[in-house]
Amino acid sequence: MGIFDFFRKGKKGSANRSPKKTDAPFSEIIGELHASWLDEDIYFSNPHEIPLFDNAMIAIGIGAADHKETLEKADNALGNFTNLTAKDRLANSQKVLNYYQKCLTYGICKELDIQADSDVWNYVVPAEIIVESISGEGTLVMVNCECEWEQEHGLMLTFKNGKDLREVGGIE
C-alpha cells in the first residue's frame, strides 16, 4: 500500500468525506471545494484531468480557499498549471532525475532501469495537488507523488505560480 492509497479508496475518514463547513468555496478553475477531514483550512476538489500527467485524474486541494484573495491567487496559479502539458513534464525530466540520482548516491533507494532522462517518469505516480499562497514566495502548486525509488517520503514537485518547476524533493 502506497502513502496515498488511504485517500484514493474513499473510505470513511478519507478526503472524500462530507465537508465540515456548510459554505463551500467555489474555484473558477476546479469548481466546488469541500473541507478536508485532515485539515479544515484545506479545501479539496473532486478529481480533475491534469494535462501535465497525461490527463490523470487528481484531486486538488487549496489552502485557505475560504479567503477570497487566496482563492483568486490559487485560481491564477491553477490556470497556469492546467495549461502545462506532457511536453512540459518531459522538459523537466532532468530535475526529477537529479533527485533520483541524489537518493541513489545516499544509498536510500534501489537502482532503476533508466536509459534516458524521460524514463524517470515511469516510476512516478501523481497522487494529489495542493495549492498554497506563501508570503514572499507567491502561490505554489505542489504535486505529491508516489515514486518507486523513495516509497517512504514520496516525491514533491513544486511549481511557482503554477508555471515553473522550482523544487523537486521528498514530501515534507
| Confidence category of residue 22, pLDDT binned at 50, 70, 90 | low
Question: Quick one: average pLDDT of 105-130?
Answer: 95
Residue 147 in this model has a pLDDT that exceeds 50: yes
Cβ contacts of residue 70 below 8 Å, gap of 6+? 62, 63, 64, 133
Question: Quick one: average pLDDT of 140-161?
Answer: 96
Residue 58 in this model has a pLDDT that exceeds 90: yes
- Look over the chain and give the mean of its residue pLDDT values, rounded to a whole number: 89
| Confidence category of residue 24, pLDDT binned at 50, 70, 90 | confident
Where do we find the cell 502506497?
A: 2
In 13-148, beta strands by DSSP E:
26-27, 31-32, 34-35, 42-44, 48-50, 56-63, 124-134, 138-147
Residue 39 in this model has a pLDDT that exceeds 90: no
Q: Which of 18-22, 55-59, 73-77, 104-108 has the lowest mean pLDDT?
A: 18-22
Residue type, 67: H
Distance CA 156, CA 167 (A): 8
Q: Which of 4-8, 106-110, 123-127, 166-170 has the lowest mean pLDDT?
A: 4-8
| Confidence category of residue 20, pLDDT binned at 50, 70, 90 | very low
Q: CB burial class (10 A; 0-12, 13-18, 19+) of residue 38?
A: middle
Residue type, 116: A
Nearest-CA neighbor of 77 among 21, 168, 143, 127?
143
Measure the CA angle with vertex 50, ends 48 and 100; round to 5°: 130
Q: How many domains does the chain have?
A: 1
SS3 142: strand
Distance CA 56, CA 85 (A): 12
Full domain range(s) for residue 72: 5-169
